[in-house]
């Protein structure tokens, strides 16, 4: 039986630059670094972001960008502060997609290795409520 999410791994070109990205944007806490040793497939670092285990592993990152992404939930009043963090680190902001009223706001941005991240203020229930309102199912 699945009991939850274990971890998410990102393949990155430069572990130090990714560490800076995770720390500055998300306030990630680094909890492990393999240093020059390789216990898995490559050198790696582990972080905690909101209690979620994130792994950055050295390697060849994706060469193309897509809409595949991970979204972290934030509060509405934190949007501006996170936008400043993202811009300060030099990450590229992607245009927000059109939204249904009430589903929350988002910031989409790429790290330095073509991974797309989202910071989102809404919840699943809010999104479903918005979709149902449009479909006349409220």
Please give the angle made by the CA atoms of 132, 101 and 27, to the nearest 5 degrees: 110
Per the residue annotation, which of 30, 44, 84, 103 is the catalytic one?
44
The C-alpha atoms of residue 26 and residue 46 are separated, in whole angstroms, by: 14
- Catalytic site includes residue 44: yes
Kindly give, in sequence order, each residue whose CB lies less than 8 Å from that of residue 123, ignoring residues fewer than 6 positions away: 73, 104
State residue 117 phi and psi, 5-degree precision: -120, 155
Q: Is 62 helix (H, G, I), strand (E, B) or coil?
A: coil
Q: Annotated active-site positions, please?
A: 44
């Amino acid at each position: 039986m699945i009991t939850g999410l274990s971890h998410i791994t990102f393949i990155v070109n430069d572990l130090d630059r990714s560490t800076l990205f995770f720390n500055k944007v998300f306030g990630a806490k680094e909890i492990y670094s393999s240093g020059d040793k390789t216990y898995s497939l490559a050198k790696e670092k582990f972080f905690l972001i909101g209690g979620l285990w994130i792994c950055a592993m050295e390697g060849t990152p994706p060469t193309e960008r897509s809409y595949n992404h991970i979204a972290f939930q934030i509060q509405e009043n934190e949007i501006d502060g996170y936008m400043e963090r993202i811009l300060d680190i030099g990450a590229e902001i992607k245009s927000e997609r059109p939204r249904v009223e009430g589903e929350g706001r988002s910031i989409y941005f790429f790290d330095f290795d073509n991974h797309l991240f989202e910071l989102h203020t809404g919840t699943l229930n809010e999104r479903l409520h918005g979709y149902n309102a449009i479909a006349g199912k409220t």
